[in-house]
Amino acid sequence: MAIAARQNKARPARVLIYSHDTFGLGHLRRCRAIAHALVDCFDDMSVMILSGSPIIGRYEFRNRVDFVRIPGVIKLRDGDYVSLSLPLAIEETVAIRSSIIEHTCAVFAPDLFIVDKEPLGLRGEVLPVLQQLEDTATQVVLGLRDVMDSPEQLAAEWQRKGVYPALEQLYDQIWVYGPSYLNNPLDGITLPRAVHDKLRFTGYLRRDEDSDAQPLAEVPFGGSPFLLVTPGGGGDGVELVDWILRAYEAQARPLFPSLIVAGPFMPSAALQEFGARADRLRDVALLRFTSHMEQYMRAATAVVAMGGYNTFCELLSFDKPALLVPRVQPRREQAIRAEKAATRGLVQMLAIDEYPRIEPMVNALAALPSLPPPSRFGAGQMLGGLTQVCRLARTLLPPIEARGSAAFTGKRRATEPEKGGQDADAN
For residue 25, what pLDDT is reported? 79
**How confident is the model over 153-199, as pLDDT tens digits?**
999 999 999 999 999 999 999 999 999 999 999 999 999 999 999 99
Report the distance separating Cα 426 and Cα 239, nearest Å.
36
Q: What percent of the chain has pLDDT over 70?
A: 88
For residue 360, what pLDDT is reported? 98
Q: Considering the entire predicted model, what is its pTM?
A: 0.91
Length of the chain: 427
Query: How high is the mean pLDDT of the chain?
Result: 90
**How confident is the model over 251-292, as pLDDT tens digits?**
999 999 999 999 999 999 999 999 999 999 999 999 999 988
Dihedral sign, CA of 394, 399, 405, 411?
negative
Structural domains present in the chain: 13-206+383-402 (3.40.50.2000), 220-380 (3.40.50.2000)
Q: Which residues of the chain have pLDDT under 70?
A: 1-10, 22-24, 76-79, 210-215, 217, 400-427
For residue 133, what pLDDT is reported? 97
For residue 314, what pLDDT is reported? 96
For residue 330, what pLDDT is reported? 85
For residue 212, what pLDDT is reported? 59
Provide the b/e sequence for 210-235 (b: ≥16 CB within 10 Å).
eeeeeeeeeebbeeeebbbbbbbbbb
For residue 27, what pLDDT is reported? 87
